[in-house]
Amino acid sequence: MNEAEKPMVVSIVGNILLGVIKIVIGYMYSSISLISDGIHSLSDVITSVIGIIGVRIASKPPDESHPFGHSRFEPLFSFFIGLALFLTAFEIGKFAVDRIVNGGTIEVNAIMVGVAIFSIIVKELMTRYSLLIGKKLNNQVLIADAYHHRSDVLSSIVVLIGLILQKFGIYYGDAVAGLIVALMIAKVAFDICKLSIDYLTGKSPPKEFFDLIKEEALKVDKVVGVHDIRAQYVGPRIYVELHVEVPPNISAREMHDTEVEVKKRLERLNNVERAYVHVDIAENT
């Protein structure tokens, strides 16, 4: 098991435990918010399994059918995670609206409140672990999975507030909490899907990245100008193409060395997978 898979295995085990506990307690005491939160936790199991598959495929080296590697599989599977979250949000919202429309109240007890608090603590720990490893490895699947955990933390907080409101006689507190959870999950799903689509469609990095590329290239000896910089995401990694200008009086060997040095300098930058450098002779030097 590699380092990227460990947080997802922890996620699977933890979410099965939390999901079962919340659903069982929810059914025992007819709490729509706890049942919905439990469904949310179990949906995390599915997305983590998808994440493991995505990480394994994305880590494969380039081959004849994928000469630029398999890194686009990371945002592809992250997109699936986003879709799963949308489905979860819809189901939770449907249950909550049905409870509000058809009425019905519940009796809140210490067990229900304790389960919500326990879920908040466990899911926050899982969030931080996945984010730590995801950012360390620049792994978009792990980062998406971490924010999925964070959405579960927030939903459990809403559930806790709803249960407390219900306990103090504010009717529909449980159902309204379930509806808010659905909206929160839908927002997270939208953000994950949007970022994944950007990576899948080769979106350009922000303007600051292009400024950094020009600045780094100009630090190389003999480079007197930079133009026609192009960059795009291939999965979460960035491919760069640019032209550098050199004086007309340098040798072919110096031109080659300049090209190699610019390439090395750019590929040391965070997230840059490959840099393609074209050397031009400056016209007015």
Q: Tens digit of pLDDT for each residue in 205-218?
A: 888 889 999 999 99
Residue 155 near residue 183, CB atoms below 8 Å: no
The residue count of the chain comes to 285
Which amino acid is present at 52? I
Residue 151 near residue 85, CB atoms below 8 Å: yes
For residue 103, the model assigns a pLDDT of: 67
Distance CA 260, CA 183 (A): 51
Rounded mean pLDDT, 141-160: 79
Percent of the chain with pLDDT over 70: 90
Lowest mean pLDDT among 51-55, 139-143, 199-203, 262-266: 51-55
Q: 8 CB contacts (<8 Å, ≥6 apart)? A: 48, 49, 51, 52, 55, 130, 142, 145
Distance CA 45, CA 41 (A): 7
At residue 54, does pLDDT exceed 70?
no
For residue 24, the model assigns a pLDDT of: 93
Rounded mean pLDDT, 83-103: 80
At residue 263, does pLDDT exceed 90?
yes
Q: Encode burial over 179-217: b for 16+ CB neighbours within 10 A, e otherwise.
A: bbbbebbbebbeebbebbeebbeeeebeeebbebbeebb
At residue 197, does pLDDT exceed 90?
no
Residue 82 near residue 195, CB atoms below 8 Å: no
Confidence of residue 252 (pLDDT cuts 50, 70, 90): confident
Which amino acid is present at 200? L
Confidence of residue 50 (pLDDT cuts 50, 70, 90): low
Distance CA 92, CA 272 (A): 40
For residue 108, the model assigns a pLDDT of: 80
Average pLDDT, the chain: 82
Confidence of residue 241 (pLDDT cuts 50, 70, 90): very high
Confidence of residue 2 (pLDDT cuts 50, 70, 90): low
User: Smallest Cα–Cα separation from 172: which of 163, 184, 182?
Assistant: 163
At residue 81, does pLDDT exceed 90?
no
Rounded mean pLDDT, 123-151: 81
For residue 59, the model assigns a pLDDT of: 66
Residue 141, helix vs strand vs coil: helix
Lowest mean pLDDT among 44-53, 182-191, 215-224: 44-53
Domains and CATH numbers, the chain: 6-200 (1.20.1510.10), 207-281 (3.30.70.1350)
pLDDT tens across 6-17, in order?
887 888 888 899
